[in-house]
Amino acid sequence: MYLNLPFIGAGLLVLIGIAIILMRKNLVKMIMGLSIVEAGVNLFLVASGYVDGGIPPIFTAAGDTVMVYPTVQAMTLTNIVIGIATTALLLSFVIIVYRRYGTADVDGMRRLRG
Amino acid sequence: MNMSKIVRSAAHLLFPAILVYGFYIVVHGHLTPGGGFQGGAVIATGFVLLYVAFSYQRLQEWFHLDSFKNAEALGLLLFIVTALVALGLGATFFYNWMANTGGLFGMPVPFGPNPGYLNTAGTIPIMNIAVGVEVLGAMSVILFYMLRGIKGGDE
Amino acid sequence: MRKIVSVVVILVLAVGILVSTTMFDFGNPASGEMDTYMLANGQVQTGGNNIVTDVVFDYRGFDTLGEATVLFTAVLGVGLVFRRMRNKKEEEYEYE
């Protein structure tokens, strides 16, 4: 049962992140939960390309064993940069909302005020 | 109100070391783990260290915002031009037109483990440097805009 | 009311995720014909020792172009949010 431990870890990270988004009312804490979900997805991507007894796919100081698959690692690189872009834009929107409404609480900005 | 003298002296000593380390990761991207994105993030960390140790006014005296904007645009332009030259030479878009030819970065490599030679791999080191400059510019511009927006909101 | 619904949703998601992680096989992935081709021919065709950098910048360079564009667009968005107003009479941003 514990042989696929990285997949269980990635699933737990996604679950904890979704629980944080659903349970908290502060905007900055919701953004932290989204960041944890993205970390879980990156772990799942890297763990799905592992071959038994493999070494990193670099020929500079390699032996004679099999190598791990390199395509999923390229996808993870792209996903990390996209996470940075999303978090930067969300945080700047939080600054604008705080300057307009005076609070960063979700319940204080429910009605559409003029 | 400043940080203590130890923090400021350590920031003065560590900043060139961080720059050299980040540039090493960028240039050796085709031999060791690393590449453009990782090295650019390490170099941007050096600028964050300078902001933490000194105040925002000192940082505005040393670096201007326009130089980082120009660096980011220049990096993306170099990346696209390197990919478009292959289209002009008769092959497809993003073809590796400098590998295995014998010119700059064009030494052929046999199969198997070898101690890494810097003269190989065609257009990949040029693209690494372009993406490294672009990521450095992007991270620094985001940092400067957010600091200016918080401190100088009613200026 | 809101807390009960969120707790039920989290429990259903927990059961679903933790059951489906036992169906994966850690150690031998599905058929990797593209990956075995890249591992066998990547060093001779491109010339770089690092196969991951070969994949990112040579075999799949178009995805890297899209990623650089996303980063550029994010900087554009942050610069649009924190722009300076020309007339100094108003201190807030206008909402029309």
Flag if A60 and B150 touch (Cβ within 8 Å): no
- Runs of H (alpha helix) within chain B: 5-27, 36-53, 56-62, 65-88, 124-151
B120 touches chain C (CB under 8 A): yes
Task: Taking residues B12-21, report their average pLDDT.
Answer: 95
Flag if C78 and B142 touch (Cβ within 8 Å): yes
Put simply, the chain A residues between 61 and 100 with a CB less than 8 A from any chain B CB are: 61-63, 77, 80-81, 88, 91-92, 95, 99
User: Domain extents for chain A?
Assistant: 2-106
Q: Please tell me which residue of chain A has the smallest CA distance to B38.
A: A77
Among residues C13, B141, B137, B9, the alpha carbon closest in space to that of A11 is found at C13
The pLDDT of residue A113 is: 61
CATH of domain A2-106: 1.10.287.3510
Q: Which of A28, A31, A42, A58 would you mutate first to test chain B, the one with the most B CBs within 10 A?
A: A58
Flag if A77 and B37 touch (Cβ within 8 Å): yes
pLDDT, one tens digit per residue, over B44-68 is 999 999 988 998 888 888 988 899 9
* Secondary structure (3-state) at B96: coil
Contacting residues for B51 by C-beta, under 8 A, at least 6 apart: B59, B143, B147
| Minimum-distance CB partner of B149 among A59, A81, A95 | A95
Nearest 5°: phi and psi at A58? -130, 130
Neighbours of chain C (3+ CB pairs under 8 A): A, B
The pLDDT of residue C66 is: 95
Task: In whole angstroms, give the CA distance from residue A87 to residue A90.
Answer: 5
Q: List the single range of A67-71, B43-47, B118-122, C14-18 with lowest mean pLDDT.
A: B118-122
Task: In whole angstroms, give the CA distance from residue B68 to residue C75.
Answer: 12
The pLDDT of residue C87 is: 64
User: Domain extents for chain B?
Assistant: 5-151
Flag if A60 and C49 touch (Cβ within 8 Å): yes
Q: Please tell me which residue of chain A has the smallest CA distance to B34.
A: A77
Cα A85 to the center of its chain, rounded Å: 12
The two structure tokens encoding residue B45: 């960390």
Q: Please tell me which residue of chain A has the smallest CA distance to B36.
A: A77
C21 touches chain A (CB under 8 A): yes
In chain B, what residues touch C82 (CB-CB under 8 Å)? 145-146, 148-149
Between residues B4 and C89, which one has the greater pLDDT? B4
This prediction's pTM: 0.88
Q: Please tell me which residue of chain A has the smallest CA distance to B118.
A: A60
- 10 Å CB burial of residue B4 (0-12, 13-18, 19+) is exposed
The pLDDT of residue B112 is: 84
Residue type, A4: N
Among residues C8, C6, C19, the alpha carbon closest in space to that of A11 is found at C19
Contacting residues for B48 by C-beta, under 8 A, at least 6 apart: B143
A22 touches chain B (CB under 8 A): no
Q: Does residue B132 contact residue B76 with C-beta atoms inside 8 Å?
A: no
Task: In whole angstroms, give the CA distance from residue B126 to residue B122.
Answer: 8
Contacting residues for A92 by C-beta, under 8 A, at least 6 apart: B145, B146, B149, C77, C78, C81, C82
Between residues A46 and C88, which one has the greater pLDDT? A46
Task: In whole angstroms, give the CA distance from residue A41 to residue A44.
Answer: 5
The pLDDT of residue C4 is: 92
Q: How does residue C18 score in pLDDT terms, banded at 50, 70 and 90? A: confident
pLDDT-above-70 percentage for chain A: 95
Flag if A63 and B114 touch (Cβ within 8 Å): no
B62 touches chain C (CB under 8 A): no
CA distances from residue C49 to A61, B29, C32, C46, C53 in whole angstroms, order as listed:
10, 9, 20, 9, 9
